[in-house]
């Protein structure tokens, strides 16, 4: 009987031990910390009352950042133009020149450079915008296309033309006028200048009677720009003196639908009423001829 009682007590103690061990809130050892608030002089802090350390720290004022500099005006942007004369021109190039004419008005609207023997050239410090280009070397000149008088007048006036202004534009511009090759800067690729052969001209000068020797013959080829304006073709003069047969030859002339000629001699001059002198058509790669008649200076 005593043995049964002892076994029952042992089972009860074992059950109580198991309950105590597996209870979730029960401390596992005697050295566990007391619950919050059990120690005198302390208070438990809830998460809501925990001071925010980040908020207590001083915040430095934001330093204003300097504004980025404004982009430079397009008028100040400068471009470099690399180019070459087209492959039709034999190398090495002799006496080569190139000029870029900016269509927008400004203090510097024309830029020149020499052409290397291999046909290449470089122009630096160019403004952005629309322009035209001309080139000249021995025996070759930049190709020009028929001039558009309506477009020229539209650019000059900055607006669309009225019907009467269109008619006037055609009347003021000779139909044979030519314009230079157009380009846009900055160029995305090296520029290739379209070229063609120059022409030649033989002029025979007469006075009352036989041909006149010793007369100076001059020609003034010009180039017209879009939007109005023209200039004499740069880099050289076209002049020659007549021989005993009264003939003078001019070479390397840019093709032109109407080239004006002049002649003078110490004792003779162009006939009165001749205006700017007679004109002649110059064709690429061809020899043209013309005759001039002078009159004595005493008339």
List, for the chain, all residue ranges whose pLDDT scores fall below the cut of 70. 1-9, 11, 15-77, 105-108, 147-153, 155-156, 169-177, 228, 273-276, 299
DSSP secondary structure letter of residue 244? T
pTM above 0.85, yes or no: no
Q: What is the pLDDT of residue 39?
A: 46
Q: What pLDDT does residue 173 have? A: 57
Q: Are 81 and 100 in contact (CB under 8 A)?
A: yes
- In the sheet where 256-264 sits, what is the strand order? 238-241, 216-219, 256-264, 279-282
Confidence at residue 239, expressed as pLDDT on a 0 to 100 scale? 97
Question: What pLDDT, on the 0 to 100 scale, is given for residue 85?
Answer: 97
Domains of the chain as residue ranges with CATH: 74-144+180-195 (2.60.40.1120), 198-296 (2.60.40.10)
Q: What confidence score (pLDDT) does residue 73 get?
A: 43
Query: What's the rounded Cα separation, in Å, for the pair 220 and 173?
Result: 18
Task: Say what the pLDDT of residue 30 is.
Answer: 47
């Amino acid at each position: 009987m005593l043995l049964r009682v002892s076994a029952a007590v042992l089972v009860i103690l074992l059950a109580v031990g198991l309950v105590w061990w597996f209870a979730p809130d029960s401390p596992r050892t005697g050295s566990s910390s007391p619950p919050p608030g059990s120690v005198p002089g302390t208070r438990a802090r809830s998460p809501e009352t925990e001071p925010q350390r980040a908020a207590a720290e001083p915040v430095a004022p934001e330093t204003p950042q300097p504004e980025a500099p404004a982009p430079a005006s397009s008028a100040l942007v400068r471009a470099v133009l690399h180019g070459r004369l087209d492959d039709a021109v034999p190398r090495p190039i002799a006496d080569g020149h190139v000029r870029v004419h900016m269509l927008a008005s400004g203090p510097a609207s024309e830029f020149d450079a020499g052409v290397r023997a291999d046909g290449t050239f470089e122009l630096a410090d160019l403004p952005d915008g629309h322009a035209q280009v001309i080139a000249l070397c021995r025996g070759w000149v930049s190709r020009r296309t028929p001039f558009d008088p309506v477009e020229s007048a539209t650019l000059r006036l900055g607006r669309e033309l009225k019907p009467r202004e269109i008619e006037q534009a055609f009347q003021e511009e000779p139909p044979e006028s030519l314009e230079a090759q157009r380009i846009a800067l900055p160029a995305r690729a090296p520029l290739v200048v379209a070229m063609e052969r120059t022409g030649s001209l033989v002029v025979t000068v007469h006075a009352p009677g036989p041909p006149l020797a010793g007369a100076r013959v001059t020609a003034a080829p010009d180039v017209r720009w879009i939007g109005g304006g023209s200039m004499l073709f740069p880099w050289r003069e076209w002049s020659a003196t007549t021989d005993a047969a009264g003939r003078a030859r001019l070479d390397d002339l840019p093709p032109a639908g109407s080239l004006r000629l002049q002649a003078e001699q110490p004792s003779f001059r162009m006939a009165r009423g001749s205006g700017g002198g007679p004109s002649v058509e110059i064709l690429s790669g061809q020899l043209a001829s013309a005759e001039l008649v002078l009159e004595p200076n005493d008339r």
